[in-house]
Structures are given as C-alpha cells and as structure tokens.
A and B are shown apart, each in its own frame.
Chain A
Amino acid sequence: MIEVLDLESRMLPTACTTKLWYASAMDVMQAVDRINELLDSDMGQTSNTSMRIPTALRDAAAIAVRELGVAPSTTALTAAALRTRLEAAVMQAVLDDHFRQYPETRPSLGDLAVAAAELDSHPLAGEPARIRQAALEVEARHPDAEPEDVLLWAEARALPAS
C-alpha cells in the first residue's frame, strides 16, 4: 500500500494537468471529434463518479426535481445540463476553427442581431437594414454589446416619438 501511495504522489502533481495532457495528446479538433463521438454514443451505460459538487447545489437540485418537476431525477438534471454545455463548447470550438480558416465569414454584430430577430420572430425581423444600422450605433459605444442589445435599441428607435 505504501508503495502504491508513493507512486501516486509522484504521478499526481498538486496542480490540475488535464489541459497539458490534452495539449500533448490531441489538438482541439481531435478533442472535438472525440467529444462528439462520446456524445453520440450509447448513453445507457452509466458510471459512478468521484465528482464533487457543492452540497448546497446538490440540495437545490433535489428540491427542484421533487417540487418543481424540472427533471425525472437529479442525475437526469445534471446529465442534461452537462450535455447542453458540452454541445455548446463543441459547437463554439468548431465555429472558432472555421473563423480561423475563413476570417471573412465571421458574422458581424449586425448579422447576429438579424439572426436573433429571425429566430425569435421579432417584429423587426423583416427589417434587416434597420437592425444593421442599430448594430452600428450600439457597437460604436458598446463594443461588447450582444445581439439582443441591438434588437432592444432598434425597437426603441422604431417607436414613434411622443
């Protein structure tokens, strides 16, 4: 036992090495491919994990499941949330890689605001020029603005002056 513990203490430095391990073993797109494979594979097989989560979060999840019916179980709630975040991370990594290869295809704030309006059936969805103008105005003062900020500004600008 002492030998095993001694070996582990030499193998496991105090800092997390996950990122370094991936950097040496696979590049980002290989990681994306592997994550996609795993997300598409059989989810019927389960494992106990040693993952630690804050006790308060665990208790809040249990109440949400029991009283609000947000999911069949806390396990299902946790798994669904984890899946959504992994899918988002994978999609963004693929998009970032695409933008590195084809920088001219990166959507502007105006493009994204038009897309948001279309997806949300926003009243201004049929007026892309108005949205793009609003995007230019918002971006000039708020470079980190979100597409939804642009839609709010465009909507405010479209209101008749009282």
Chain B
Amino acid sequence: MSHLIVLDNEAVQALSDPSHKKHVHVLSQVQMVAGRKSRDLSVTVVVPTAVRVEAGWDRTVPAWAFLNGLRIGDITLDGRNANIAASIRQGARVSVADAHIGAVIQAATATKVTVITSDPEDIRRVAADKEVNVVSI
C-alpha cells in the first residue's frame, strides 16, 4: 500500500512556523510519517508547486531549511497537471493552488491520498469523485 500526503497552504504555513497555533498538529503528522518510513512503509509527503508559490516557500531561502530537510517533494504544475487544474478551476471556482491540489489528487496512483488542509470543503470539491482522506487543521 502506498500513501500520498498532500499539504495545502495553511499546512505549509503551520509547519514552517513554530509559533503557529497549528504547528504541533501538522508536526505530529510529519512525525508519524517519519516513523512509518522507518518501518519501510511507503508514505510520501508532497506539496504542489502552486501551493508552494501561494505559501511563499522558496527552497533557496534559508528560512525554509526546516521544511526542505523534511523531504517534502514538489509536484510540479506540468502541462498535464495544468490541463486538469484548469478544468477544476473553471468547474469548482477555486484558487489556482487548490486546483493544483485537485489535479494531484485526480492524477495520483497511490493507494491512499490524504490532504492536510484548513479548507476541507474546497478539497472535497476539487477531488470530485476521487476518494480522498481529508484531514482538517
């Protein structure tokens, strides 16, 4: 079983700031991922690059060293994802970042997809009929 965990803008903000009121909540999720990886379970944490833009996460800036070190992978907005995201944005009337999250969900091949988000309703809308585990922060 493979598990893909997607972060939204607020999850990124919470994780990056130790004083954020949701920091420990998101950090707990990441700690669980590290523990499961150490047991050879297939768990991957990713951030869609449009979310990274919205969050201001520039990987070359030292302030983001903590998140860079956690091996949170980029999912780029390539041509294929852009097509899916454009369709989602038109249909669901969501932000570009949320549309990109929707594209990631819809294109995912993982057995399970979880999105950590402050906006569970939008995530359910962009997921459409694809099954997704929404963790509300």
Contacts and interface: CB of A to CB of B under 8 A. Distances in A.
A147 B34 CA distance: 13
A116 interface: yes
A107 B40 contact: no
Interface residues of A, number: 32
A33 B135 CA distance: 30
Interface string B92-120: 00000000000000000000001000000
Given A87-B37, A91-B37, A118 B70 contact: no
A114 B71 contact: no
A49 to B, nearest CB: 21
Most buried by A among B24, B32, B68, B114: B32
Given A87-B37, A92-B38, A33 B31 contact: no
B5 interface: yes
A43 interface: no
A115 interface: yes
Interface residues of B, number: 26
Contacts, number: 82
B76 to A, nearest CB: 14
Given A107-B27, A111-B24, A119-B135, A88 B37 contact: yes
Interface in B46-68: 66, 68
A64 interface: no
Given A85-B40, A118-B135, 13 more contacts: A33-B69, A91-B70, A95-B30, A98-B27, A105-B18, A105-B24, A112-B32, A115-B31, A116-B32, A118-B29, A119-B32, A119-B33, A121-B133
15 contacts: A81-B40, A84-B42, A85-B37, A91-B33, A92-B38, A94-B70, A98-B66, A102-B18, A104-B18, A105-B18, A111-B24, A112-B31, A115-B31, A115-B32, A119-B3
